[in-house]
Structure 1
Amino acid sequence: MVGDAMKFQGMKVVSLFIYLSLWSVLVFSQSRQLQGRLETPDGKPVPYASVTVKNDRQRVLAFKTADSQGTFLLAWRDTIDISRLHIEINHLGFKKVSIPLAADNNHYDILMEEEAIDLAEVEVKSRPKINLRGDTLSYDVASFTKPEDRTIGDVLKRMPGVEVEENGQIKYNGKAISNFYVDGDDLLDDKYAIGTKTIPHAMVKDVEVMQNHQPLNVLQGKTLSENVALNLKIKDEAKLELTGQAKPGGGLPGQYDGELNTILFNKKYKMLNVGKANNIGTDLATDFTAFNQAGRLSNMGNSRPAELLSSGTVGNPALPTSRYYFNHSGSLNANNLVNLRSGLQLKANVGLLLDNNDMDYYSTNDLYLADDTIQYSEIQQINRSPFLVDVSLNAQANKDTYYLNNALKIGYSGETGNAALTSNAAAMNQRISHRIRDFSNTLDYVPALRNGNILSVNWYVNHFNRPQILDIQSGINADVLNEGRPFDAVYQYTETPTWFNTLAVGYRIPNGRIMQSYRLSTLNEWQQLLSQLRLMQPTGEQSAYTGSADNNLHWQRHNAQLNATYELKEGKWETLLSLPLSWQRIAYEDVGFGLDETSERLLFNPFFRAKYMTTPEDYVSASYVYSNQMGNINGVYRGAILTNYRSLQTNDAALQEQRAHNVALNYNFQRNISMLFMNVGISYTHATANTIASNVLTDNISSTVLLPYENDVSTFTATAGISKYIFALGATTGLKGTWSTTRFNQFLNDELLPYNNVSFSLTPSFEARLWNRISLNYEGTGTWMTSKLVAGETAIRMPDRQILRYDQSVSLLYSPLSNTFLRLSGRHQYTSQAQLEDISYFFMDASIRYKLSKWNTDIELNLMNLANITAYETYSLSANQFGYSRYNLRGRMAVLKLTFNL
Structure 2
Amino acid sequence: MKSGNIRNVFLLLFLSFSSVAVLAQNREIRGTLKTADGKPVAHASVMIKNQQQRVLAFNASDSQGTFLLTWPDTAEIIGLRVEINHLGYKKVSIPLIADRERYEIPMEAEAIDLAEVVVKSRPKVSLRGDTLSYDVSSFTKPEDRTIGDVLKRMPGVEVEENGQIKYNGKAISNFYVDGDDLLDDKYAIGTKTIPHAMVKDVEIMQNHQPLKVLQGKTLSENVALNLTIKDEAGLALTGQAKLGGGLPGQYDGELNTILFNKAYKMLNVGKANNVGTDLATDFTAFNRTGRLADMGYAKPAELLSSGTVGTPPLPTSRYYQNRSGSLNANNLVNLDNGLQLKANVGLLLDNNNLNYYSANDSYLTGDTIRYSEIQQIDRSPFLIDVSLNAQVNKDTYYLNNALKIGYSGETGNAALTSNARDMDQQLSSRVRDFSNQLEYVPSLRNGNILSTNWYVGHFNRPQTLDILPGINADALNDGQPYEGIYQYTAIPSWFNTLAVGYRIPNGRIMQGYRLSMLNEWQQLRSQLRLTQPSGEQLAYSGSTDNYLDWQRHHAQFTATYELQEGNWETLLSLPFTWQHITYEDPGFQLDETNKWLLFTPMFRAKYLTTPEDYLSFNYSFNNQLGDISDLYQGAILTNYRSLQTNGTVLPEQRSHNLSLNYNLQRNISMLFVNAGISYTHANANTIASRVLTDDLSSIVLLPFENEVSSFNASAGISKYLFALGATAGLKTTWGTTRFNQFVNGKLLPYDNVSFSITPDFEARLWDRISPNYKATGTWTTSKLADGGVGNIPDRQIRRYDQSMSLLYSPFAHTFLRLSGRHQHTSQAQLADIRYFFVDANVRYQLDKWNADIELDLTNLANITEYETYSLSANQAGYSVYDLRGRMAVLKLTFNL
- By the TM > 0.5 criterion, same fold? yes
Show the counterpart of 1:824.
818
Question: Which has the higher mean CA deviation after the structures are superposed, 294-303 or 336-345?
Answer: 294-303
**Alpha-carbon separation, structure 2, partners of 1:182 and 1:321:** 28
Q: Are residues 302 and 160 of structure 1, via their aligned partners in 2, closer, same or farther at CA, if it must alter by over 3 Å? A: same
CA contact (8 A) 2:288 2:294 kept: no
Q: Deviations over 1:604-662 (max 9, x none)?
A: 11111111111001001101110012110011110000000000000124111110100
Letter paired with 1:600: K
Determine whether 1:874 maps to 2:842: no
**Alpha-carbon separation, structure 1, partners of 2:555 and 2:101:** 52
Q: Deviations over 1:438-457 (max 9, x none)?
A: 00000000011111111111
CA contact (8 A) 2:45 2:84 kept: no
Q: Shift of the alpha carbon at 1:132?
A: 0.7
Show the counterpart of 1:133.
128
Q: Shift of the alpha carbon at 1:748?
A: 0.2
Letter paired with 2:605: A
Show the counterpart of 1:440.
435
CA contact (8 A) 1:65 1:72 kept: no
Question: Which has the higher mean CA deviation after the structures are superposed, 86-95 or 345-354?
Answer: 86-95
**Alpha-carbon separation, structure 1, partners of 2:469 and 2:454:** 49
CA contact (8 A) 1:50 1:63 kept: no
Determine whether 1:165 maps to 2:160: yes
Q: Deviations over 1:390-446 (max 9, x none)?
A: 000000000111100000000000000001000000000000010000000000000
Q: Are residues 334 and 67 of structure 1, via their aligned partners in 2, closer, same or farther at CA, if it must alter by over 3 Å? A: closer
Q: Shift of the alpha carbon at 1:602?
A: 0.5
SS at match of 1:449: coil
Q: Shift of the alpha carbon at 1:100?
A: 3.3
CA contact (8 A) 1:49 1:65 kept: no
Show the counterpart of 1:364.
359
Determine whether 1:737 maps to 2:729: no
Determine whether 1:233 maps to 2:228: yes
Letter paired with 1:606: P
Show the counterpart of 1:121.
113
Note the 1:570-589 alignment, pairs <5 A.
570-589=565-584
CA contact (8 A) 1:38 1:111 kept: no
Determine whether 1:715 maps to 2:705: no
Show the counterpart of 1:63.
53
Show the counterpart of 2:882.
888
CA contact (8 A) 2:246 2:887 kept: yes
**Alpha-carbon separation, structure 2, partners of 1:898 and 1:320:** 24
CA contact (8 A) 1:653 1:691 kept: no
Q: Shift of the alpha carbon at 1:89?
A: 2.8
CA contact (8 A) 1:849 1:859 kept: yes
Q: Shift of the alpha carbon at 1:297?
A: 3.7
Show the counterpart of 2:20.
none
Q: Are residues 783 and 485 of structure 1, via their aligned partners in 2, closer, same or farther at CA, if it must alter by over 3 Å? A: same
SS at match of 2:848: helix
Show the counterpart of 2:894.
900
SS at match of 1:238: helix
Show the counterpart of 2:144.
149
**Alpha-carbon separation, structure 2, partners of 1:285 and 1:527:** 29
CA contact (8 A) 1:241 1:264 kept: yes
Q: Are residues 724 and 117 of structure 1, via their aligned partners in 2, closer, same or farther at CA, if it must alter by over 3 Å? A: farther
Where has structure 1 moved over 4 Å in runs of 4 or more?
A: 36-42, 46-53, 65-73, 90-97, 107-119
Q: Structure 2 residue aligned with 1:242, among 237, 261, 272?
A: 237
Q: Shift of the alpha carbon at 1:92?
A: 5.0
**Alpha-carbon separation, structure 1, partners of 2:448 and 2:707:** 44
TM-score by length of 1: 0.91
CA contact (8 A) 2:274 2:324 kept: yes
Q: Are residues 50 and 728 of structure 1, via their aligned partners in 2, closer, same or farther at CA, if it must alter by over 3 Å? A: farther
CA contact (8 A) 2:293 2:299 kept: no
Note the 1:449-460 alignment, pairs <5 A.
449-460=444-455
**Alpha-carbon separation, structure 1, partners of 2:783 and 2:357:** 26
Q: Structure 1 residue aligned with 2:680, among 685, 704, 714?
A: 685
Letter paired with 2:560: T
CA contact (8 A) 2:729 2:760 kept: yes
**Alpha-carbon separation, structure 2, partners of 1:866 and 1:505:** 61
Q: Shift of the alpha carbon at 1:131?
A: 0.8
Show the counterpart of 1:271.
266
Q: Shift of the alpha carbon at 1:114?
A: 13
SS at match of 1:484: coil
**Alpha-carbon separation, structure 2, partners of 1:437 and 1:628:** 30
Letter paired with 1:304: K
Q: Shift of the alpha carbon at 1:794?
A: 3.1
Query: What do you get for the CA RMSD once the two structures are aligned?
Result: 2.6
Letter paired with 2:551: Q
Show the counterpart of 2:549.
554
Determine whether 1:182 maps to 2:172: no
Q: Structure 1 residue aligned with 2:742, among 741, 744, 747?
A: 747
Q: Are residues 862 and 90 of structure 1, via their aligned partners in 2, closer, same or farther at CA, if it must alter by over 3 Å? A: same
SS at match of 2:112: coil
SS at match of 1:294: coil
**Alpha-carbon separation, structure 1, partners of 2:612 and 2:111:** 12
Q: Shift of the alpha carbon at 1:737?
A: 0.5
Determine whether 1:725 maps to 2:720: yes
SS at match of 1:708: strand
Q: Deviations over 1:498-536 (max 9, x none)?
A: 000100011111111111111110000000000000001
CA contact (8 A) 1:48 1:66 kept: no
Percentage identity across paired residues of the two chains? 74
Unaligned runs of 5+ in 1: 1-35, 54-60
**Alpha-carbon separation, structure 2, partners of 1:383 and 1:50:** 71
**Alpha-carbon separation, structure 2, partners of 1:118 and 1:624:** 38
Show the counterpart of 1:766.
761
Show the counterpart of 1:321.
316
Q: Structure 2 residue aligned with 1:417, among 412, 428, 433?
A: 412
**Alpha-carbon separation, structure 2, partners of 1:385 and 1:890:** 19
Whichever of the two has the greater Rg, that structure is 1
**Alpha-carbon separation, structure 1, partners of 2:29 and 2:724:** 44
Q: Are residues 233 and 455 of structure 1, via their aligned partners in 2, closer, same or farther at CA, if it must alter by over 3 Å? A: same
Q: Shift of the alpha carbon at 1:90?
A: 4.3
Unaligned runs of 5+ in 2: 1-25, 33-42, 60-68
Q: Structure 1 residue aligned with 2:659, among 653, 661, 664?
A: 664
Q: Shift of the alpha carbon at 1:88?
A: 4.8
Q: How many residue pairs align between the two structures?
A: 849
Q: Are residues 210 and 649 of structure 1, via their aligned partners in 2, closer, same or farther at CA, if it must alter by over 3 Å? A: same
Q: Shift of the alpha carbon at 1:121?
A: 2.2
Q: Shift of the alpha carbon at 1:820?
A: 0.2
Q: Shift of the alpha carbon at 1:539?
A: 1.4
Q: Structure 2 residue aligned with 1:500, among 495, 503, 507?
A: 495
Q: Shift of the alpha carbon at 1:126?
A: 1.7
Determine whether 1:210 maps to 2:202: no
**Alpha-carbon separation, structure 2, partners of 1:813 and 1:220:** 45
CA contact (8 A) 1:50 1:66 kept: yes
Q: Deviations over 1:660-709 (max 9, x none)?
A: 10001100101111111010111100111100000000001100000000
Letter paired with 1:335: N
Q: Deviations over 1:329-363 (max 9, x none)?
A: 00000000000111100000000000000110000
SS at match of 2:535: coil
Q: Deviations over 1:266-311 (max 9, x none)?
A: 0000000000000000000000001122166434112111100000
Question: Which has the higher mean CA deviation after the structures are superposed, 151-160 or 112-121?
Answer: 112-121
Q: Deviations over 1:874-893 (max 9, x none)?
A: 00000000000000000000
SS at match of 1:480: helix
Q: Are residues 633 and 71 of structure 1, via their aligned partners in 2, closer, same or farther at CA, if it must alter by over 3 Å? A: closer
**Alpha-carbon separation, structure 1, partners of 2:786 and 2:862:** 47
Q: Structure 2 residue aligned with 1:842, among 836, 840, 847?
A: 836
CA contact (8 A) 1:330 1:355 kept: yes
TM-score by length of 2: 0.91
**Alpha-carbon separation, structure 1, partners of 2:164 and 2:86:** 34
CA contact (8 A) 2:391 2:400 kept: yes
Show the counterpart of 2:37.
none
**Alpha-carbon separation, structure 1, partners of 2:684 and 2:536:** 43
CA contact (8 A) 1:364 1:375 kept: yes
CA contact (8 A) 2:47 2:57 kept: no
Q: Deviations over 1:578-618 (max 9, x none)?
A: 11101100000000111000101111111111111110010
**Alpha-carbon separation, structure 2, partners of 1:496 and 1:680:** 42
